[in-house]
Structure formats: C-alpha cells, structure tokens
Structure 1
Amino acid sequence: MSIEVAPESAPRTTAERILDAAEDLFAKKGYRATSLGDVADRVGIRSPSLYNHFRNKEALYQAVLERLIAEFSGPLAALSSQKVPDKDRVMQWLETIVRQHHANPNLARLLQHAALSGGPHTNEIIERLFQPMFQPMDERSGMSDQFGQLHQLGLQPWAVMGFNNLVMSYVTMAPMYRDLLGQDPFSEEALENQLTLVRTLLKAVFAYREE
C-alpha cells in the first residue's frame, strides 16, 4: 500500500521574502523610519540586490500596500456584489474583517504609522480601501433600513469610521492591555470576546431609533 505524500509548498521567491520583511518593518517602524538596509538585513541579502526587484523604497512600500489592500478588500467586494445585502451579510463581513486583522495585524499598524507620521500613497489607501464603505446607501438595497436612524441622520460615515477604528485599534493597542486582560489579546479566546463585542454593538446600531 503506497502512502501519498502531500506536495511541499513552493519555496518563497526572493521578491516575496522582501515583501514579507518590508511589510513587517513598515508595520513596526513606519515608512520614514524603515530603510532598505533594514529590509535587506531581515531578508539576508545585500542592499543593492533589492534594486533587482524594486526600484526604490517607495516602490517597495507601494507593493506592500497593493498586497495588503488586495487581501483586505475582498470581503467588502463580496458583500457589495450581493443584490440585497442584509444584516447577516453585514455581520459576516465585519466578523471576517475582525478575523483578518487578528490573523495579520500589519495593515492596521502600517496605517497607524501613516496617520501619525505620513507616508506615500496614504490618500490612495483611503480611496481604495475605505471609500466604498462611505458611499451613500441605496434605498433599494435594503441597507439603509438596516442602519435605521443613523442613515437618515447622515451618520453612516461616522458609524463606518467608528467600527473601522474599533477593529483596527484593537490590533495596535491591545498588546498594551495584555496584563490587564490576563490573556494574549491575539488568542482564540480573546478573538471570540472581541467578536461578541462587535456583534453586540452592531445589533445596537441596527436597532437604533432616535428618541
């Protein structure tokens, strides 16, 4: 009886290893504080070798952003493709985003650095990643009904911004609360606690009616 051996995954190319290292460093230190020498040292190559793959630091940074935007924009695109989005779909999208940020906190950390100290293509990030969520809701889609008074009061953008901040600030700030929480903020238990909080708040948004 022969035993089938699962094929090994293909080794990562040098360009992919450079992107991995750059993503971690940009997330940790920000664009301005990260040098190509830092990236080369992390990969284990000489700095001039980087130019065989990326023409300069800005091009490397943009490539990192492109990869992250592609990774994180998928769930929203899937939700937008639905003809009649409902509460369950919105909840599923938000839960997916929470899980994505837990699995890869680098996007939130990179954006925090960009907000505080700047970096190229920041406006492009906002446009491509967040602008679709700020679009006015179509009454025919049923989404405006889900958000109730918040839509009628013109507070949809503020609700979107609030949930974005809630989700992304968790992965940037939660490590500071590790001792107070008494658990790893990136553990499965902590993830479930955050998901419970997000579900509870989103249900309150759905149900909100102005007094």
Structure 2
Amino acid sequence: MGKTTKQLQPGTEEQILNAARRVFTRKGFAAARMEDIAQEAGINRALLHYYFRSKDKMFDMVFKENMGKFFQGFITALQGKESFEEKIKRLISGELDTLIQNQDLPLFIVNEIAHNPEKLIGNMQQTHIGDFRKEFEKLVKSEIRKGNIKKVDPRQLLMNLLAMSVWPFIAKPLLMAIMELDTKAFEKMMLQRKEIIADSILLSIKK
C-alpha cells in the first residue's frame, strides 16, 4: 500500500497538474509514467488515479491550459485602438512575461515536437494558436496596405518574433553557463529583451 508523502491541500488537482508538467518537460509524454508524476506531486498512485484516470488526460489538460493562456494573451495584445508599434511592443512584452512565469514551457513543447509530434499538433489545433496567427497576419497586412511598413511576409515576421523570444528559454542552461548568470540575472536579461526585440522587429519593417 502506497503512502501519501505530502499533506493534501484544496488545490490538489492543480498540484498534480504542475507536477505533471514538470515530469512531461523532463521526460516527454512517452517516457513519463504515472508513478513519476505521483512521486513528483508527493501523493500516492491511488490518489493520482482518483483525479486523473490516464496519462493522456493529464497531458491534454496541461497542454491546453498552458497554450490556451499563452495564445489568448497574444490575441488580446493585438486588439484595441493602439498604434501598430504599441501593439507589437505589448505583444512582445506579454510573451516574455508569460515565458518568465512558465520557463519550462518552451522545452516542454520542443520535447513533444521531437518525440510525439502527432499528439502535439492535435492539441495545438484545439488552442488559440490559429486565431492568433490570423489576427497577426491581418494586422501586418493592414499596415502594409496603408503604406506604414515594408512589404513583408507576416509568417516570416512572426517566426522572427517568436524565435527571438522563445529561443533563450530553450537554451537557458547553456546561456546561464556561458554568461555566468544566476536565475535572477537571467530573468533580468529576459525583461531587457522586451525593448531589444521590439526595436529589432520594428526596424526590420520600417520604410
């Protein structure tokens, strides 16, 4: 008979999902075991199965919750009456804030791209990613028609923006070692990147 290693709190389900995210990030969906998640959460397997019948259900909930918040925030950043420049700055700022608060998210996605792409794509299609891409493309094309920015493929611009924001979090251990950064210094650099990335993106499309 297993034993509970931590006192359960009202937020047990959230506790389990947070533990599952950490395990999925380290091991990927295929290699992660329910036992690993129970141990990470500090509970026994019986209690884990009470909340979640399967690893698939847990993974789907973790993924949709994380990605849903991620892209819904991006859509909000692109809406409103602010100028194009302000929207881009707000988008980048919100993206980096989200990444700083969820630093394991990029690695989580990269692991699933490598080991479980079909499941990842299926889950992606149920998030706001499609809505965000369409909103971004509509905004960029509108600015091109108005003559405010260079003619540019919105998809290329979006790839640049995402890569400049996300890559440092994927390479975080390497960057921290090379640059001799602790966690606080790394996060400070990521906050500084808000202005650096915005300036770079806007300069690249300036007429």
TM-score band (shorter)?
Answer: 0.7 to 0.9
Normalization by structure 1: what TM-score?
0.79
Q: Percent identity?
A: 14
- Deviations 1:5-45 (CA, angstroms, capped at 9, x unpaired): xxxxxx44221111010011112221112111000011222
Q: Partner of 2:106 in structure 1?
A: 108
Q: Is the aligned partner of 1:172 residue 2:173? A: no
- Matched residues in 2 for 1:18 and 1:40: separation? 7
1:64-79 map, 5 Å: 64-79=62-77
Q: Is the aligned partner of 1:148 residue 2:150? A: yes
Alpha-carbon contact 2:16-2:37 (below 8 Å) kept: yes
- Matched residues in 1 for 2:149 and 2:28: separation? 36
Instruction: Give how far 1:55 is off.
Output: 1.6
Gaps of 5+ in 1: 1-10
- Deviations 1:51-80 (CA, angstroms, capped at 9, x unpaired): 211120000001111221232123223134
Gaps of 5+ in 2: 1-8
Instruction: Give how far 1:174 is off.
Output: 2.4
- Matched residues in 1 for 2:44 and 2:51: separation? 12
- Matched residues in 1 for 2:155 and 2:145: separation? 12
Instruction: Give how far 1:131 is off.
Output: 2.2
Q: Cα 1:185–1:163, aligned 2, differ >3 Å: closer, same or farther?
A: farther
- Matched residues in 2 for 1:84 and 1:141: separation? 14
- Matched residues in 2 for 1:57 and 1:66: separation? 14
Q: CA RMSD in A?
A: 2.5
- Matched residues in 1 for 2:73 and 2:144: separation? 16
Q: Partner of 2:4 in structure 1?
A: none
Normalization by structure 2: what TM-score?
0.80
- Matched residues in 1 for 2:144 and 2:27: separation? 39
Instruction: Give how far 1:124 is off.
Output: 3.5
Counterpart amino acid of 2:34?
L
Specify which structure has the higher proportion of helix. Answer: 2
Alpha-carbon contact 1:85-1:142 (below 8 Å) kept: no
Segment of structure 1 superposing worse, 131-140 or 113-122: 131-140
Aligned length: 194
Q: Is the aligned partner of 1:203 residue 2:202? A: yes
